[in-house]
Amino acid sequence: MRGTALYDEDILLWSEQQAGVIRRLGRTRPDLSNELDVENVAEEVESVGRSELAAVESQLQNILFHLMKMAVEPDANATRHWRVEVAACHGEMRRRYTPSMRQRIDILQLWRLARDLSVLGAEFPDALEEALPGRPPFQLDDLLMDQIDSLALAKRIQEAAALRS
């Protein structure tokens, strides 16, 4: 795949490959090191991909956070708003997501971060901490689908919470 096509299809993989090329160039062309700060240029190129990965992980964490709210307070007036938030975060996540990110996303870590935020903001944090499952009751694939079913995912969280009781 040509560099331009890879750039458009998988920015994370492109940034890693380009940084490798820059580093190899720096090793094989020592004359460049006088004019080009090879290591820092390579690091900056890599940071482009890492930044996109961080953005995707942030959106996934927000999705999980809002799904937990929906699961814990299904009859709240804000439920419709939370569904919109899930859809908006999902759309942004899907726009930035690339295939090479999949193996680097730790859904359990994101779940725990979202869970901690949910507990922190809860009126009764101890009860919520006890109720919410310690592990996500679904897989990353459920969040990466073209369309996300926030009601079904919130229900799975409720069912997993009921099993803990």
**All structural domains of the chain with their residue ranges:** 3-164
Decide: residue 150, CB within 10 A, 0-12 exposed, 13-18 middle, 19+ buried.
Answer: buried
Between the alpha carbon of residue 140 and those of residues 15, 17, 69, the distances in Å are 24, 25, 19
For 40-77, how does the pLDDT look when each residue is reduced to its tens digit (9 = 90+)?
Answer: 999 999 999 999 999 999 999 999 999 999 999 999 99
- Region of 145 please: left (phi>0), alpha (psi -120 to 50) or beta: beta
Residue 103 pLDDT more than 70? yes
For 106-144, how does the pLDDT look when each residue is reduced to its tens digit (9 = 90+)?
Answer: 999 999 999 999 999 988 889 889 889 999 999 999 999
From CA 85, how far away is CA 82, in angstroms rounded?
5
What integer best gives the mean pLDDT of the chain?
Answer: 93
Q: Which CATH architecture has domain 3-164?
A: Up-down Bundle (1.20)
**pLDDT band at residue 165, thresholds of 50, 70 and 90?**
low
**pLDDT band at residue 32, thresholds of 50, 70 and 90?**
confident
Residue 2 pLDDT more than 70? no
Decide: residue 4, CB within 10 A, 0-12 exposed, 13-18 middle, 19+ buried.
Answer: exposed
From CA 22, how far away is CA 95, in angstroms rounded?
28
Q: Mapping DSSP to helix (H, G, I), strand (E, B) and coil, where does residue 9 land?
A: helix
**What is the crossing angle of helices 107-120 and 38-72, to 10°?**
60
Residue 100 pLDDT more than 80? yes
From CA 145, how far away is CA 69, in angstroms rounded?
21
From CA 66, how far away is CA 60, in angstroms rounded?
10
